[in-house]
Chains A and B, each alone.
Chain A
Amino acid sequence: MTVNGNKPKFAMYWAASCGGCEIAVLNIHEKILDVDANFDVVFWPVAMDAKYKDVEAMEDGSILLTLFNGGIRNDENEHIAKLLRRKSKILVAFGSCANEGCIPGLANLSDSREIVSTAFNTISTDNPKQIYPMISYDVPEGEIHIPKILPVLKTLDQVVDVDYYMPGCPPESHQIAAVIDLVVQVLQGKAELPPKGTVIGAGNSTVCDECKRARNIKMVKSFKRIWGVEVDPELCLLEQGIPCNGIATRSGCNARCPTAGAQCIGCYGPAEGVIDYGARLISAFASVIDSNDPEEIDRILDGIVDPTGQFYRFNLAGSLLKAGKPAWEKA
């Protein structure tokens, strides 16, 4: 894969995201020099100055690799997603937001008016004049615009065709480094790209596969929040009643959270082939409840205080249902 003797072009973009993915990329330390050595970085708003019009001016397919992080929350995100798709040979949905919506995707439980109202008109907001953002506004210099919020947050592949998926919130730095290595090897003709649609930079099993905690047949009598218990350092967290999502979450992070004594919250998304992450978790949790008494079961389930947050924290926009009804009806 040589491009006329020039270094191949690299881009990275953030849509609706927190910036953690960029930090994770920088966190690969000296490997970042490999990026510079092998690529010509043409567009990376967080790291360098560039204008959209510069990208628009590029030839279609002229960028070899684009890492796209963030969900599609407004029409600007959507425009850039489509633009980068056109300009890129390989488009990677990078990080949980681009893959499955992540935390911004939880806003899909509300319609966009509620979201704006929460941001501009709640008790914690000092907005006595009830000023709300406007999409366009006339000033003496002309009309100015801000991006328009879309009814629901979409994942990258709900908007454009995606070549590879790299999960994680954010993707682990060692996984990013491995992917960079792989691309460099492909450039040098030493390796081949995996088939399109492959999840890269992650395992094929679940977090339990990498977790060293001892596990037995699971019989859960109550679900507890982590601050309420003294955690046994050796035993499977779920067996201790701590609602750990490791059972359903794709491996690749070296089971960081459970190893440190905190439950997996699911940032690496569903395991290979699973269509709805939360539904899988719900049926798995339901399966290990150790009671046949409906009232006791209800009491045990009351231990899951925020079901959406527990089961769909990262996956709501990418789930089968994708959004709550009020938001979806406007989409």
Chain B
Amino acid sequence: MEKIGVYVCHCGTNIAGTVDVQEVAEWAAARLKHRGVVVGREYKFMCSSLGQELIEKDIKELGLTRVVVAACSPHLHENTFRTACKRAGLNPYLCELVSIREQVSWVHTDKDMATAKAMAVVSGGVERVLHHEALEPLKVSIHPDTLVVGGGIAGIQAALEIADAGYKVYLVEREPSIGGHMAQFDKTFPTLDCAACILTPKMVQAGTHPNIELLTWSEVEKVDGYVGNFSVTIRKKSRYVKTDLCTGCGICWEKCPKKVVDDVFEAGMGTRKAIYTPFAQAVPRYPVIDRANCTYYIKGTCKACEKFCPTSAIDFNQEDEIITVNVGNIVLATGYETFDAHRMAQYGYGRLPNVLTSIEFERMCNASGPTNGEILLRDGKSKPKAVGIVHCVGSRDKNYNEYCSVICCMQGLKFAHLVHERTGAEVYNFYIDMRTPFKGYEEFYQRVLEEGTHFIRGKVAEINDAPRTPEEQGKLIAQVEDTLVGVQMRIPLDMVILSVALEPRHDAKETAKRFGLSCSADGWFIEKHPKLDPVATMTEGILIAGCVQGPKDIPASVAQGAAAAARALGKIHAKEIALEPVRASVIEEKCSGCRICNGLCPFNAISFHEERMVTEINAALCQGCGTCVAACPAGAITGTGFSNEQIFAQIEGLLLLNVGEEPVPA
């Protein structure tokens, strides 16, 4: 017969405030005695070293063979108690942590009922632990190279940190140049340093670093493998330019006769040529040919770039190249897109020429942008006399995105400052709430307040061009309620800037699936723990950094890039990693080869053996999520640690089907 110890944690008053922990411990010792419980104890903080010692002492002195700890969620302290068991010589997987905090004390108020439920939860744990097996963690080696996907500031930071530590990095970027959104900006809040001045040195560093292999104009097609041993297939899209010959002299794009509106880098505000680099400081400096717009590909003639190229680097027949790289860790920093302002027809974007999005305005402010940094109306000549900045366009709005896009308040303040500085116009910030946390932000807000910007607390109902008074003639009118004063206002403006929401990339869901991650309902990638593990994911070896995890500003993106790098470096240094032995496996005699499970594995661990007509699971790829275990109609897949026997035993325990008789009082 197994000897089980039951330990009930007070968690200060977190649990003990709602659950009679002493009663639970005594109940377990008495009523579950016939199931093998030999000791039931309670302690103020089981996770403290004294609490852990209590368990260790009992394992050694009472010869416990199983341990049930009733405390917080396994996410928090499963490892703590497993390690305690291990120290005392008990296989760590013979310990079961049941939650009476998140699942009991925090969600109930009635002490008697909560205590009864805690008993049921403990009974479930006892029944379950009886079916536990002693397991050994799986050890795998870590490949020292790292893949960073996304060449924005977060990705660049992560790549540089790892490369500087002496390890190889593949930096993949979908666009022709690294730099990301930050390269589009003019000034950065709150210090107003020029984005290019602080970003381009980092870009150059990444471009020339001996440990960084830049793969721009490239996309990840497939990810196989698992932590430490990923095999990644990357498509290097053809640039139609031989990068070994190209010197980036720029003659080709100078001579190219075809102008194209640049919807990506210039956000539609400027043009580029059909052969181009997105901007002057692009890294790498090699251009790409935009095949859809190139005259040669459309009409079969032109070839101006080829004729003028001094190094004969143009190759119209170049094909996409597929390469495979092996890496141990992957950092995803694929960033964000901005909200399509057309969706809020009430703001007139696309219909009223002087309604701009924040990204368009960034380009306009940028000294190397379409207006050379001058703030002008769409006529290209006149300066605005009144500018409105509308916050939360597509954010904090139940119709679009409920979340806050984080950067808009500070961005709005920055814009207000730039408009003041460059035009002297009246500036109106239409905000719902001003949010200026973090270093130097509130001070910047005060500065802009002092500059005389008008702040109107209210969500703009409409931007229209229908004047009611002579002063409104020829103006854009913002209809808004100033909720601090409680009056409706009509404010005539020359230019309106919509602070558009940050949204997940349109293909974020496919990217998540490709890398075996999950997205929140909004589409942001989900971190392992929102507070304590913000750059790791539930897939070991895949880290996230920057806006892919949720809207954030540059300092936070850089911090996450560095944090992700540190996590990757930690693994690289350790050389090998112990994986949770919770894995699914197929009982081959029961598998009929129906292939129900074949398309389900988020980690690509399932394959079908055509000859034997059975499904197989690669234990190293499997993350133990249990999707296939649940789906298998034949019950032919079992999950270590989550077998049907364990789950049903736990249910029977929860239903108190195995509880012994009330002991007769002595």
Give the B-binding residues of A (Cβ under 8 A).
Answer: 204-209, 215-219, 236, 238, 246-248, 251, 270-275, 280-281, 283-284, 286-288, 292
Contacts and interface: CB of A to CB of B under 8 A. Distances in A.
Interface string B625-652: 0010011111110000000100010000
B592 interface: yes
A294 B221 CA distance: 28
Contacts of B592: 205-209, 247, 251
Given A248-B634, A284-B596, 19 more contacts: A206-B633, A208-B592, A208-B593, A209-B613, A215-B593, A217-B595, A217-B598, A236-B594, A238-B594, A247-B592, A247-B634, A271-B636, A273-B635, A273-B644, A283-B633, A284-B631, A287-B597, A287-B630, A292-B509
B425 interface: no
B631 A206 contact: no
| Residue of A207, A219, A274, A281 with highest tally of chain B CB at under 10 A | A274
Contact of B590 (A207, A218, A272): A272
Nearest to A246: B594
Given A204-B590, A205-B591, A247 B644 contact: no
A164 B59 CA distance: 43
Given A206-B634, A274-B635, A283-B631, A247 B594 contact: yes
Nearest to B606: A217
B300 interface: no
Contacts of A274: 634-635
A215 B595 contact: yes
Interface of B: 509, 589-600, 613, 627, 630-636, 644, 648
Contact of B595 (A218, A273, A280): A218
**Chain B interface SS verdict (over half):** loop
A218 to B, nearest CB: 6
A286 B592 CA distance: 19
A119 to B, nearest CB: 35
Contacts of B594: 206, 208, 215, 236, 238, 246-247
Nearest to B600: A287
12 contacts: A205-B589, A205-B591, A206-B592, A217-B598, A218-B599, A247-B633, A251-B592, A271-B590, A280-B635, A281-B633, A283-B631, A292-B509
Contacts, number: 82
Of the candidates A215, A246, A270, A286, the one having the most CB atoms from chain B within 10 angstroms of its own CB is: A215
B571 to A, nearest CB: 32
Given A248-B633, A280-B635, A287-B631, A275 B595 contact: no
Contacts of B644: 273, 275
A97 to B, nearest CB: 23
B664 to A, nearest CB: 31
Interface core residue of A206, A219, A238 (most chain B CB under 10 Å): A206
A218 B633 contact: no
Contacts of B597: 287
8 closest A-B pairs by beta carbon, nearest first, are A248-B633, A209-B592, A208-B592, A287-B631, A284-B633, A208-B594, A206-B592, A247-B633
Q: Which of B591, B599, B633 has the most CB of A within 10 A?
A: B633
A213 B597 CA distance: 17
Nearest to A270: B635
A136 to B, nearest CB: 38
A278 to B, nearest CB: 10
Contacts of A207: 592
B599 A217 contact: yes
A287 B613 CA distance: 20
Contacts of A205: 589-592, 634, 636
A286 B627 CA distance: 11
B648 A275 contact: yes
A271 B598 contact: no
B643 to A, nearest CB: 10
A77 to B, nearest CB: 27
Contacts of A284: 596, 631-633
Contact of A272 (B613, B635, B648): B635
Contacts of A217: 595, 598-599
